Structure 1
Amino acid sequence: MDTATQLVFLAVVAGRFLLPLLIPRFPLPAILACLVLDGIDQSIFQAFGHDPPGYQGYDKAMDVFYLCVAYLSTLRNWASGAAYRVARFLFFYRLVGVLAFELTQWRPLLLVFPNTFEYFFIAYEVLRLRWNPTRYGLRFWLWSAGLIWVVVKLPQEWWIHIAQLDFTETVQDVPWFGPAVVLALLALLAVLWFAVRPRLDAVDWPWRVAADPLPAEMDEARERAAWTAAHGRVWSLASLEKVVLVGLICVIYAEVLPGLDASGLALFLGLAAFVLVNAGLALWAARAARTVESAVAAFAVRVAVNSGLVLVADRLLGRDDGGLNQAGAFFFVLLLSLITSLHDRFWPVHQVRSGATHHPVPTR
């Protein structure tokens, strides 16, 4: 690659890492921006004369990253416990499917484990723009997920991963395809305007694009730390979720990143140990009232601590195989630190919303 192509490549990859960080504060516009960048990044690469080898694996890994941040944002933002439970299943189901695909490279797995979570997340946030999601019960959210799964995602996954068709190339090669897509979109808009819109419930509030405010008792770091000090445990459901989340995502990246020579099981177990150490340190800091209000500062502290732990572990292991892969280790430190710091920051909010907030009785 020449210099210009390298800069474009780095800019796109940086965008796919940085844009998701806006999802917790601006859920709908940020995830739509991630979706658009996901859809055009390969075309951008090709326009500059570079078609990255192994693009499929890179694309799935980057998808998993922004979907992970979206899932973590549900801990912070979602008031509907029923919608959260559906979203959690859809997210981890997809995560398992992506890992299975990376290990086997068998494309039908991406059809069996479709990315329903992403569009379910979008559907929730579209509804939250004007309506209170807690008005709707588990049945409503299950039907919503089912319709997205069958009507939207299965055809899309078949198109992309089984038929391996490209939208732009199909429009160019099949004369009637472009007009047919336009007519289908117009028909959908007509149905939404004339059939769905008149049946919508009365709106509950003005437009809400930004995430809802945190509960008053959870809007400061010291309050979240106090909750963690009182209720947090190293051996807990939260720690188990972090172990699975960090482990699966990092194993997926290990299959994609070049120059890494580590078995998936060994990496998963090593990361699990680091997650539990992080949980213990976070609990100690909460009980010692050593809190950091800034999310960026808290992340930086965690990166520094985890970097030190990696160096200590490498020394203790006393390996003679050429030493630590510093670039790979630092990447996983960043990934682990980001996921665990966001989870630790948002988990108390989720617990308070689900356990201490009184919601209206669902009407659907």
Structure 2
Amino acid sequence: MSVEVVFWCVVLARFALPLLIPVFPLPAIIACPLLDGVDQTIFQTFGYDPPNYQSYDKAMDVFYLSIAYLATLRNWTNHGAVRIGRFLFFFRQVGVVAFELSGARLLLLLFPNTFEYFFIAYEGVRTRRNPLRYAFRFWVLVAAAIWIFVKLPQEYWIHIAQLDLTDTIRDVPWFLPALVVAVLVLLAVVYFVIRPRLSPADWTWRFRADPLPEGIDDARQRAAYQAAHRKVLDTTTLEKTFLIGLISVIYGEVLPGVESNNLQLFLGIAVFLVINAALGLWAAKRGYSWNSVVVSFGIVFATNVVLVVLADVLLSRGPGRLHLTDALFFVLLFSVLTTLYDRYRPIADYRVAASARSEAER
């Protein structure tokens, strides 16, 4: 097998695996960093050092966390946890953008990636228990514990001290035994202290996402909901703009060959989002909908390719243009995230509205 084939298999796997997160949240979110951890070993096994791979590696990390955030809109029934997840995700994205623009590693400590572990914690609870049993305060405490006791030490270790686990184990004789003892103590606390105090489980192990609410589990229902509740310029479009705009700025900083500056890139993405929102609302009001996510993505992708070609023709003499390959890459990224966001955001809003109606009826 040629090294180029190995390289593209790894890259495609790192982009395809996150797409399983909405359906198999816990296994897929754990598999993504595991694949991230072995990709360089795979390349070294074949004697290959891909040029600029570190840049793509950062970009793919941002991608799988973005899919995880979109999965919270689709799957999470506890709205308080969704709000906390939203804050943690965007807080980290702002920090990553600031780091890419300034190069100050301290920003990665001040804006830790608490969202990823919070996602794992929520899905770990959901495998056996109904997340609605736990109040907003519980999820705040979970997020705070992860932030303080897990992510701050980890971010300091990686980004401030810039230490490597393998090198530390090799150079510090007592580190590995101490690490083993710490893990054993943690497992003992979980098994002997926490486990006996847990309430009975609500169901057997669940690793697949729960079914969607009956009132909005069909494409026609989602289209009708959007037609009744959406505007072209509303908070949904604003959130989607910051979601995809910030990610695009991060990609623009780490990927080679992007000539547009950050403001041009963000504004260009915003314009495309508004156009997509207008086209999507027009389609929803006329009842156009597709249950297949592949068909939906194909339509969105084809539409955005046409828009990019038109923009390239109109702005052929203007500054800040993207190379064709970069433009197509951004269209692919943009279309995946837009398709999933437009499918999943109405589900989250429907749950909030149904919960409000239930509270009002009591």
The TM tier, using the shorter chain, reads over 0.9
Partner in structure 2 of residue 216 of structure 1: 214
Q: In 2 relative to 1, CA 190–321 (structure 1 residues): closer, same or farther, beyond 3 Å?
A: closer
1:65 is aligned, of 41, 49, 63, to: 63
Measured in 1, the distance between the counterparts of 2:163 and 2:140 equals: 30
Contact 1:134 1:359 in 2 (8 A): no
Partner in structure 2 of residue 233 of structure 1: 231
| RMSD of Structure 2 on Structure 1 (CA) | 2.0
Q: What does 1:164-183 align with in structure 2 at a 5 Å threshold?
A: 164-183=162-181
Q: In 2 relative to 1, CA 110–359 (structure 1 residues): closer, same or farther, beyond 3 Å?
A: farther
Alignment coverage as a number of residue pairs: 359
Report how far residue 292 of structure 1 moved. 1.3
Measured in 2, the distance between the counterparts of 1:290 and 1:275 equals: 19
1:265 is aligned, of 257, 263, 266, to: 263
Report how far residue 162 of structure 1 moved. 1.4
Which residue identity is paired with 1:7? V
Measured in 2, the distance between the counterparts of 1:157 and 1:284 equals: 45
1:192 aligns to 2:190 (yes or no): yes
Measured in 1, the distance between the counterparts of 2:358 and 2:153 equals: 36
Q: In 2 relative to 1, CA 33–180 (structure 1 residues): closer, same or farther, beyond 3 Å?
A: same
Contact 1:225 1:291 in 2 (8 A): yes
Normalised by the length of structure 2, the TM-score is: 0.94
Which residue identity is paired with 1:346? Y
Report how far residue 174 of structure 1 moved. 2.2
Q: In 2 relative to 1, CA 262–190 (structure 1 residues): closer, same or farther, beyond 3 Å?
A: same
1:19 is aligned, of 17, 20, 31, to: 17
Q: What does 1:284-303 align with in structure 2 at a 5 Å threshold?
A: 284-303=282-301
Question: Is the partner of 2:65 in helix, strand or coil?
Answer: helix
Which residue identity is paired with 1:15? A
Q: Could you list the runs of 5+ residues in structure 1 that have no partner in the other structure?
A: none
Partner in structure 1 of residue 314 of structure 2: 316
Q: In 2 relative to 1, CA 322–351 (structure 1 residues): closer, same or farther, beyond 3 Å?
A: closer
Q: In 2 relative to 1, CA 239–207 (structure 1 residues): closer, same or farther, beyond 3 Å?
A: same
Partner in structure 2 of residue 156 of structure 1: 154
Which residue identity is paired with 1:308? V
1:119 is aligned, of 111, 117, 126, to: 117
CA offsets 1:243-285 (integer angstroms, 9 cap, x no match): 1111110111111111111100011001100001001111111
Q: Could you list the runs of 5+ residues in structure 2 that have no partner in the other structure?
A: none
Which residue identity is paired with 2:117? Y
Contact 2:77 2:132 in 1 (8 A): yes
Measured in 2, the distance between the counterparts of 1:252 and 1:139 equals: 32
1:105 is aligned, of 83, 103, 106, to: 103
Contact 1:25 1:211 in 2 (8 A): yes
Question: Is the partner of 1:25 in helix, strand or coil?
Answer: coil
Contact 2:74 2:348 in 1 (8 A): yes
1:75 aligns to 2:86 (yes or no): no
Question: Is the partner of 1:13 in helix, strand or coil?
Answer: helix
Partner in structure 1 of residue 31 of structure 2: 33
Measured in 2, the distance between the counterparts of 1:323 and 1:166 equals: 39
Which residue identity is paired with 1:266? Q
Normalised by the length of structure 1, the TM-score is: 0.94
2:351 is aligned, of 350, 353, 357, to: 353
1:304 is aligned, of 284, 293, 302, to: 302
Report how far residue 184 of structure 1 moved. 1.2
Which residue identity is paired with 2:103? Q
Measured in 2, the distance between the counterparts of 1:233 and 1:359 equals: 22
Measured in 2, the distance between the counterparts of 1:149 and 1:254 equals: 28
Partner in structure 1 of residue 338 of structure 2: 340
Report how far residue 101 of structure 1 moved. 1.2
Contact 2:52 2:256 in 1 (8 A): no
